């Protein structure tokens, strides 16, 4: 890769890595895994960088790799993603902000991975149904039904007794 | 207030997701490290490609199978009727090596099945088909993948085609899908029109859709969803056939080309329930050859 392209790639990573890691974190719920996923995606991006002629396609490509790496990892191993019925003791929050965060992370973990991916893509990445379907390689109808189920799962997870803190109860239920 | 439904303002859930993020730890890698790892990957891939090309060529010569090489260097076989079922070159490279795609239970090659299904959909002649970018297309084109419902590794294949339709009355959107039988234990979610015949195995947003069902002469359960009148003027009509063998076919139209945020492209339905039903009940639109 030429120096100019290297510079472009560096600029992209510097500007976008944090944002991409946040997306990965919402998918997997673990900052270390999120970082691994993003690194994997960026390494693949580098290998393909010279073939991407449309700058606006870079985000779409990277996003797609992140989701695929996440889903592939899920298929290979179930050990990391057993839904937690209750928050671990260590996660007992000290403030409403931390409590909110842990509640939502735990609730997201209970949403099946592919539905979670749909929710993150549609509501975090603001992707339209069409783009989400293209990225996941499924029909738009499937995206819609997965969205509906994902929201239902998330709603149910948040509604469990003793899980939703007062600060979120009014907003989400 | 509740979590948003599919077409509600997405900002509420986005706010919820923002709460999940909280304080981020510092990034544990640098762009330079990624570049170095990327360079290693490129070198490894080039070495592997050189070996792979020799192997493919040797195989082609050895068994006399015609091998086409597309502009990405991937080898593809011609599909039935001499029509290549390979996708057109994308604007971006493939995100990762394609995962092996399980053929339909019949053993039919999915690419071949996609071509077969495209030929099975008959549309009124006064409609012009375009792809979702508004470009004239050569007809309906099915893509396919595993319908990984609930992450079930035994999930069946799903074939789907999306196309923009322009005809009398304006523009609309058509989607046709064909799905294999759902895996055992597939969760029964939703309540389909209180329809015991389908055991609730269909999502139905009864607040937004009307829903009727009937049994076709061949035994397929036909379910028709219609989006209820709404201030935005959105129209949507979905006809779903649940076939006795467990496979499904659906045909749906709406007056939006891409997303609910768009302005409706017409004020009337583009295809009637009868036309959509004819599509999904056509024996040729079958998951199995």
Q: Which residues from B are below 8 Å from A144, CB to CB?
A: 6
pLDDT in 10s for each residue of chain A, 173 residues: 567 778 888 999 999 999 999 999 999 888 888 988 898 889 888 888 877 767 678 888 889 889 888 876 664 433 233 333 333 333 434 455 566 677 788 888 888 888 899 999 999 998 988 889 888 878 888 888 888 888 888 888 877 644 443 333 333 43
Among partner residues A10, A105, A139, which is closest to B160 by beta-carbon distance?
A139
Write out the two tokens for A88: 């671990």
Write out the two tokens for B276: 């959509």
Among partner residues B16, B96, B153, which is closest to A75 by beta-carbon distance?
B153
The answer to whether the beta carbons of residues B193 and B212 sit under 8 Å apart is yes
pLDDT at B275 over 90: yes
- The pairs formed by B71-79 with CB atoms below 8 angstroms and a separation of 24 or more are B73/B49, B79/B109, B79/B111, B79/B112, B79/B115
Cα A149 from Cα A138, distance rounded (Å): 16
ipTM of this complex: 0.74
Alpha-carbon gap: B152 to the closest alpha carbon of chain A (Å)? 9
Cα B267 from Cα A61, distance rounded (Å): 36
Query: Residue B132, Cα to own-chain centre: how many angstroms?
Result: 13
Window 30-49 of B: residues touching A by CB (8 A cutoff) are 31-32, 34-35, 37-39, 41-42, 45
The mean pLDDT value for B254-271 works out to 72
A43 contacts B151? CB cut-off 8 A: no
Among partner residues B28, B41, B158, which is closest to A43 by beta-carbon distance?
B41
pLDDT digits (tens, 9 = 90+) for B165-207: 887 788 888 889 888 876 554 433 233 444 433 433 444 455 5
For residue B73, what pLDDT band results from cuts at 50, 70 and 90?
very low
DSSP H or E run through A172 = helix A166-172
Q: Is A16 left (phi over 0), alpha (psi -120 to 50) or beta?
A: alpha
pTM summary value: 0.49
Cα B277 from Cα B289, distance rounded (Å): 20
Residue A105's Cβ-count burial label (10 Å; 0-12, 13-18, 19+) is: buried
Among partner residues A1, A13, A120, which is closest to B34 by beta-carbon distance?
A13
B6 contacts A172? CB cut-off 8 A: no
Q: Which residues from B are below 8 Å from A172, CB to CB?
A: 1-3, 16
Helix/strand/coil for A62: helix
Q: Which residues from B are below 8 Å from A72, CB to CB?
A: 96, 99
The tokens 């399980």 sit on which residue?
B102
pLDDT digits (tens, 9 = 90+) for B85-107: 333 333 334 444 333 344 466 77
Q: Which residues from B are below 8 Å from A106, CB to CB?
A: none
| CB count in 10 Å sphere of residue B58 | 10
Beta strands in B218-284 (DSSP E): 221-227, 236-242, 248-254
Dihedral angle, C-alpha B119, B121, B122, B124, nearest 10 °? -130
């Amino acid at each position: 890769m030429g120096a100019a392209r290297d510079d472009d790639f560096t600029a992209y990573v510097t500007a976008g890595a944090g944002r991409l890691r946040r997306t990965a974190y919402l998918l997997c719920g673990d900052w270390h895994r999120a970082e691994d996923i993003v690194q994997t995606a960026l390494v693949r991006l580098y290998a393909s960088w010279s073939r991407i002629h449309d700058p606006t396609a870079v985000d779409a490509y990277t996003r797609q790799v992140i989701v695929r790496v996440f889903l592939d990892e899920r298929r290979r191993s179930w050990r990391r993603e057993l839904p937690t019925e209750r928050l671990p003791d260590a996660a007992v929050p000290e403030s409403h902000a931390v409590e909110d965060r842990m509640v939502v992370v735990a609730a997201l973990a209970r949403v099946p991975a592919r539905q979670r991916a749909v929710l993150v893509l549609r509501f975090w990445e603001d992707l339209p149904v069409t783009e989400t379907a293209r990225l996941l390689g499924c029909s738009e109808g499937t995206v819609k039904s997965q969205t509906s189920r994902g929201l239902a799962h998330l709603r149910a997870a948040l509604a469990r007794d003793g899980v939703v803190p007062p600060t979120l109860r009014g907003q989400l239920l | 207030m509740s979590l948003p439904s599919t077409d509600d303002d997405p900002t509420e859930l986005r706010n919820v997701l923002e709460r999940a993020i909280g304080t981020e730890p510092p990034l544990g890698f640098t762009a330079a490290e990624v570049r170095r790892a990327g360079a290693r990957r490129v070198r490894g891939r080039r070495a592997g490609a050189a070996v792979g090309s020799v192997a493919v060529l040797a195989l082609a010569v050895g068994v006399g199978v015609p091998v086409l090489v597309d502009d990405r260097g991937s080898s593809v076989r011609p599909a039935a009727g001499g029509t290549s079922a390979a996708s057109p070159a994308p604007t971006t490279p493939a995100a990762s090596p394609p995962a092996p795609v399980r053929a339909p239970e019949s053993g039919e090659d999915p690419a071949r099945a996609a071509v077969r299904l495209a030929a099975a959909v008959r549309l009124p002649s006064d409609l012009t088909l375009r792809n979702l970018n508004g470009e004239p297309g050569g007809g309906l084109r099915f893509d396919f993948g595993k319908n990984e419902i609930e992450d079930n590794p035994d999930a069946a294949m799903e074939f789907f085609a999306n196309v923009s339709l322009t005809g009398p009355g304006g523009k609309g959107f058509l989607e046709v899908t064909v799905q294999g039988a759902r895996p055992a234990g597939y969760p029964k979610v939703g309540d389909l029109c209180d329809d015991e015949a389908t055991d609730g195995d269909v999502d139905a947003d009864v607040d937004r859709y009307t829903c009727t069902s009937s049994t076709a002469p061949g035994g397929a359960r036909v379910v028709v969803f219609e989006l209820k009148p709404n201030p935005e003027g959105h129209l949507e009509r979905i006809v779903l056939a649940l076939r006795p063998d467990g496979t499904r076919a659906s045909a749906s139209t709406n007056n939006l080309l891409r997303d609910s945020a768009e302005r409706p492209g017409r004020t009337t339905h583009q295809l009637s329930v009868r036309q959509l039903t004819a599509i999904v009940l056509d024996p040729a639109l079958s998951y199995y050859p």
